[in-house]
Amino acid sequence: GEKGMSLFETGRKVTHLPTVAKEVYDVTGAGDTVIATLVAAKSAGATLLEAAKIANYAAGIVVGEVGTAQVMKEELYSHIISSLESD
């Protein structure tokens, strides 16, 4: 949502991931992007928390576009790196 996303894991504390979106133009497909990215990251060996963080970045990219949008891995990688460097 507009405040980010929360991760609920059995036996663990709820983890809130604040949004990383810089601009929000259209939320169409944001949920689909989160699910697809979460599954892809988990399939690649990420923990659930790591996958959720990556999915949060992907959603931040998608909502910055008008209409449905795709996130390419290079764009996602670049977005994550630049965000980490600015912290």
What is the set of active-site residues?
A: 32
DSSP assignment of 15-73, as one string?
EEEE---S--S--TTHHHHHHHHHHHHHHTT--HHHHHHHHHHHHHHHTTSSSS----H
Rounded Cα–Cα distance for residues 61 and 57 (Å): 6
